[in-house]
Amino acid sequence: MASLTPLHGRELVDCARANAQQGIETAAYQCGYGQDLNKFAKELRQACEDMNLQVKELSGLITDQDMILQLGTGEVVAPETESEL
């Protein structure tokens, strides 16, 4: 669900990260910036700096773990049943 008001700080970074794979337009909309991509980018850059994150573009927020989950290439290693440890 898109934010009704523009997000800032950690909330903005979290929302942008969650929507980064869908592109900047979707991320900006979901974070409450509508079609104002310039303001979204400026606020996101500032929020990242405040959190001491070295991110130059939106795709920099996507972690390796996000990529593995999306691709489904991760392998689950677990016992077949609770009694098989």
Task: Choose among 42, 72, 73, 69: nearest CA to 58.
Answer: 42
**Better-predicted residue by pLDDT, 58 or 52:** 52
pTM over 0.85: no
The Cα 68–Cα 54 span in angstroms is: 22
- Report yes or no: 19 and 31 within 8 Å, Cβ to Cβ: yes
| Cα three-residue angle 53-57-62, rounded to 5 degrees | 70
Mean pLDDT of 19-40: 92
What is the pLDDT confidence band of residue 70, given thresholds at 50, 70 and 90? low
Mean pLDDT of 15-41: 92
